[in-house]
Amino acid sequence: MIYLKFINQALSAAKYHEDLAFSFAHPDIKQYSKVVVHLRAYFWELWSVWDYILQEANLKTLKLKPEGVRRNFLDEAKKKHPNYEYIENLEYIQKDERLTRIMLIRDHAHKWQIDPYQVDYRGTKVNVICLNNLDAKDKKLARQINIDRNDLWFMETIVETLFKKGFFDNK
């Protein structure tokens, strides 16, 4: 349960950056850098939620130093602790398309640019911000993705589901 506090901080920070990115996102080129900064921070915070979840699982399994918990952590944990009750849940989450998308956007934030003319807005409400991939050769990344508000919802749902299943309990 030690990482739940940090997870909640990361979710709050992601919400903060999401709100600001969407509030600045309109066809005013002066706001462009603010949108970029907040969207990059948003995806870093969302990914940190997953990092903290893995850290929490580490406390109950491999007990590695925090810097030793990498993306292949679940593979190692499964080998050495095949009876860890949350391994299947965590593997399922890790394979989810939305988490993979969050990871790719966060990992390649420097390869994305916002085209201010591809922001879908209705009056003062922004519905979608489009990101364009600057490196067309990188096949892992889509040419364009849309940011709506579902990424934060997805991460909050993961945390809530794991909490209800007892993942964060000190056993």
Reported as a single tens digit per residue, the pLDDT across 24-69 is 887 676 778 888 889 999 999 999 999 999 999 999 999 999 999 9
What was the pLDDT predicted at 27? Answer: 67
Contacts of 11 (CB under 8 A, 6+ apart): 45, 49, 152, 155, 156, 159
CA-based nearest residue to 88, from 74, 101, 76? 74
pTM for this entry: 0.87
The dihedrals phi and psi of 116, each to the nearest 5 degrees, come to: -55, -20
pLDDT at 164 over 90: yes
What was the pLDDT predicted at 114? Answer: 80
What was the pLDDT predicted at 148? Answer: 87
